[in-house]
Structure 1
Amino acid sequence: MSTAPRLRAALVDRLTEEGVLREPGWSKAARAVPRELFTDAYFQAVPGSVPTSYRPVRAGDPGWLEGIYCDETLITQLDGRTRPEDVTAESVSGSPSSSSTLPSLVLRMWHQLSAEVGDRVLEIGTGTGYSTALGAHHLGDANLTSVEYDPTVGEAAAAALRAAGFTPRLVIGDGLRGDPGGGQYDRLIATCSVRYVPLPWLHQVRPGGRILVTLSGWSYASALVLLDVTGPGQATGRFLPGYTSFMIARPHDRPPRPTLALLPGEERPSQIDPAKLDNWTGGWVAQLAAPSAERLGAGAEQILWDVSTGSYARTAPHANGGWSVVQRGPVRLWERVERAVSCWQDAGEPHQEEFGITVSASGQRVWLGAEDGPGWDLPI
């Protein structure tokens, strides 16, 4: 057995042992789809670099193929334009804008979607095309439509899918608008995160169908939710176990931030430990309470900057114990965060799987425990 099939088989065996692969159809897809066709070049972060810089890894480079069959996310584009093949220097800096998600997460999500052969599936975010290929292998080309926002990324994915022998329907466009051709789907899976569930999705997935998507925000806290569509524009769902994050869809990303000037403001003691925002669910609850804020800092020294109003809050350890907070601007960000985090603490600091969401014509509300429990409206 040559190197690529051997590495691929070893990865599938490991994912099977770990319980990620449980259905024969997805196991066959994982064994059949050559990930190297979809990630012929990628970036690796340079250890210790500040800000993070990235080294391009191309076909034939030492460790290239081994890196592809590690269960890791591979960055394939920076700043919405720079690909590994574009880089002539030893390393380059930038913000990741496209990637090939780690295989275990891709396959876990396909399992969680519970799509069956014969279901019509809409995928939002073709990316490299690797996830699309897995879906096409198991569900059939005719049953899968995939939408990609970036034309360059989409063209590369289309070429890789053809090379791998798959011909699903591919669309270049804004996936948040769904399928521009309309139609009814049984399932929708998103490989990008969103601030709220786009309304076109709720009309293109039939009642009784399902939507699997990661909800995120401008503080980049994330939670994976599985929604059951109950009617046109309506759905309910529960958040899932684990820790899932994706790059936020570009139309939902925050606007450019001006230079942050930490001017004086009103100071008082903080009612919560700011380090609670470093907790996976704690940071997400804070984001629900202050959805237009970007979070900086860590530990006792947190900074929240409201993108829409310029309001901010910053915390620091107090000399006499506890913590202080300084707030400035029309929105008292920390007060909102304190109420939300305290509510979560009173419930015993549960993981996101204790939360749910209701989507209706009146809005989108995330709630804790039960539908009539405490909750927060998403920023539609």
Structure 2
Amino acid sequence: MESPVLTAEPRRETARFSGFTSIEYDEEVATRARTALGRQGIYPTLVSGDGLLGYAEGAPYDRVIATCGVRTVPAAWIEQTRPGGLILTTIGGWLGSSELARLTVHDDGTATGPLLSGQVSFMLARPHMPPALGLLPDLSEGKEREAIIATDALNDWPSRFIVQIAAPHAQRLTMERDGRTEHVLVDVESGSWAALYEEDGRWIVRQDGPNALWDAAEEQLGRWHAAGTPALEEFTVSVTPQGQTITW
């Protein structure tokens, strides 16, 4: 089941919970939800559609609560939330690390707010799912160097979140090649990739493509470590018409 977004508009109080709008992508699931909610005396406006687009007919909203994960906060949610209203959504990526964010919408059409931590995970909204990997590039190509940071960073939730910021289109896979285990990041869109393996107690990275994925990951992780590895709840999400940024 996918319930992309639940919005609340408390100003309408003609019936119990009648001021809520709930959006469900799957029409059959929406029908079942309407029946189940009705049994509990809950009568929201229940819409079958793409929750990433919101529901402009009921705007402006005081609250937007997403029950699926997103990689970036949709502009429609901000546009349909009144200034001072809140958006609660899980922001994550294709490396499998995500966190709740609580964003306040401002008069200028932007939204900012903190991550709340807790390692909260929802299924990504369908349009935000990663593309199929397809045919892998030739991983024997590229330039090699000794890695500054090992792939342990990909096993740690906060570190993995940092790597997602540095390489937002990368997907991870592990494979056996030439008698060793290689940890691979692949950006299908750009064709960039990085493969890491351990040799004689050292980590070696081999990269190719227009973007040096592990260089970007190491640079971002290095900045985070230099700042004292602040917890994810110290991070701030900012969404403007120019895009989304996550900083600490």
Task: Measure, in 1, the Cα distance between the counterparts of 2:16 and 2:159.
Answer: 40
Task: Measure, in 2, the Cα distance between the counterparts of 1:120 and 1:176.
Answer: 23
Give the root-mean-square deviation of aligned CA atoms. 2.5
Aligned to 2:225, the other structure's residue is in SS state: helix
Give the letter for the 2:151 counterpart: P
Residue 251 (structure 1) aligned to one of 111, 127, 145: 127
Residue 169 (structure 2) aligned to one of 289, 292, 295: 292
Q: Taking structure 1 as reference, are residues 296 and 140 closer, same or farther at Cα in structure 2, changes over 3 Å only?
A: farther
Larger proportion of helix: 1
Task: Measure, in 1, the Cα distance between the counterparts of 2:19 and 2:58.
Answer: 14
Question: Is the 8 Å Cα contact of residues 2 and 68 (structure 2) preserved in structure 1?
Answer: no
Using the TM superposition, give the Cα deviation of residue 328 of structure 1 relative to its aligned residue in structure 2, in angstroms: 1.7
Question: Is the 8 Å Cα contact of residues 16 and 41 (structure 2) preserved in structure 1?
Answer: no
Where does residue 308 of structure 1 map in the other structure? 189
Using the TM superposition, give the Cα deviation of residue 99 of structure 1 relative to its aligned residue in structure 2, in angstroms: 6.9
Question: Is the 8 Å Cα contact of residues 111 and 238 (structure 2) preserved in structure 1?
Answer: yes
1:37-186 matches, within 5 Å, as 98=1, 119=10, 140-186=16-62
Using the TM superposition, give the Cα deviation of residue 307 of structure 1 relative to its aligned residue in structure 2, in angstroms: 1.9
Give the letter for the 2:237 counterpart: I
Residue 246 (structure 2) aligned to one of 357, 366, 380: 366
Larger proportion of strand: 2
Using the TM superposition, give the Cα deviation of residue 344 of structure 1 relative to its aligned residue in structure 2, in angstroms: 1.3
Question: Is the 8 Å Cα contact of residues 310 and 329 (structure 1) preserved in structure 2?
Answer: yes
Using the TM superposition, give the Cα deviation of residue 267 of structure 1 relative to its aligned residue in structure 2, in angstroms: 1.1
Q: Taking structure 1 as reference, are residues 155 and 268 closer, same or farther at Cα in structure 2, changes over 3 Å only?
A: same
Using the TM superposition, give the Cα deviation of residue 292 of structure 1 relative to its aligned residue in structure 2, in angstroms: 0.9
Greater relative CO, 1 or 2 (CA 8 Å, sep 6+): 2
Q: Taking structure 1 as reference, are residues 221 and 241 closer, same or farther at Cα in structure 2, changes over 3 Å only?
A: closer
Task: Measure, in 1, the Cα distance between the counterparts of 2:77 and 2:144.
Answer: 44
Question: Is the 8 Å Cα contact of residues 229 and 236 (structure 1) preserved in structure 2?
Answer: yes
Using the TM superposition, give the Cα deviation of residue 141 of structure 1 relative to its aligned residue in structure 2, in angstroms: 2.0
Spell out structure 1 runs of 4+ moving beyond 3 A.
none
Residue 225 (structure 1) aligned to one of 74, 92, 101: 101
Is 1:195 the counterpart of 2:71 in the alignment?
yes
Task: Measure, in 2, the Cα distance between the counterparts of 1:301 and 1:343.
Answer: 25
Question: Is the 8 Å Cα contact of residues 141 and 169 (structure 1) preserved in structure 2?
Answer: no
TM superposition score normalised by structure 1 = 0.58
CA deviations on 1:323-380 (whole Å, 9 max, x unpaired) are: 0011122221111111011111222222211110222233221111xxxxxxxxxxxx
TM superposition score normalised by structure 2 = 0.87
Gaps (5+ residues) in structure 1? 1-97, 101-109, 122-135, 369-380
Where does residue 318 of structure 1 map in the other structure? 199
Task: Measure, in 2, the Cα distance between the counterparts of 1:178 and 1:193.
Answer: 15
Is 1:272 the counterpart of 2:149 in the alignment?
yes
CA deviations on 1:278-301 (whole Å, 9 max, x unpaired) are: 111100110111111112239x84
Question: Is the 8 Å Cα contact of residues 145 and 169 (structure 1) preserved in structure 2?
Answer: yes
Task: Measure, in 2, the Cα distance between the counterparts of 1:199 and 1:99.
Answer: 20
Is 1:331 the counterpart of 2:208 in the alignment?
no
Using the TM superposition, give the Cα deviation of residue 254 of structure 1 relative to its aligned residue in structure 2, in angstroms: 1.6
Give the letter for the 1:119 counterpart: P
Using the TM superposition, give the Cα deviation of residue 143 of structure 1 relative to its aligned residue in structure 2, in angstroms: 1.4
Using the TM superposition, give the Cα deviation of residue 241 of structure 1 relative to its aligned residue in structure 2, in angstroms: 2.8
Task: Measure, in 1, the Cα distance between the counterparts of 2:235 and 2:59.
Answer: 31
Question: Is the 8 Å Cα contact of residues 237 and 356 (structure 1) preserved in structure 2?
Answer: yes
Where does residue 56 of structure 1 map in the other structure? none
Question: Is the 8 Å Cα contact of residues 206 and 232 (structure 1) preserved in structure 2?
Answer: no
Question: Is the 8 Å Cα contact of residues 2 and 26 (structure 2) preserved in structure 1?
Answer: no
Give the letter for the 1:235 counterpart: A
Using the TM superposition, give the Cα deviation of residue 261 of structure 1 relative to its aligned residue in structure 2, in angstroms: 4.5
CA deviations on 1:219-271 (whole Å, 9 max, x unpaired) are: 22212110111125211101113110110000111222203355212111111
Question: Is the 8 Å Cα contact of residues 254 and 307 (structure 1) preserved in structure 2?
Answer: no
Give the letter for the 1:317 counterpart: E
Using the TM superposition, give the Cα deviation of residue 120 of structure 1 relative to its aligned residue in structure 2, in angstroms: 5.5
Q: How many pairs does the alignment contain?
A: 239
Aligned to 2:23, the other structure's residue is in SS state: strand
Question: Is the 8 Å Cα contact of residues 196 and 215 (structure 1) preserved in structure 2?
Answer: yes
Task: Measure, in 2, the Cα distance between the counterparts of 1:336 and 1:202.
Answer: 30
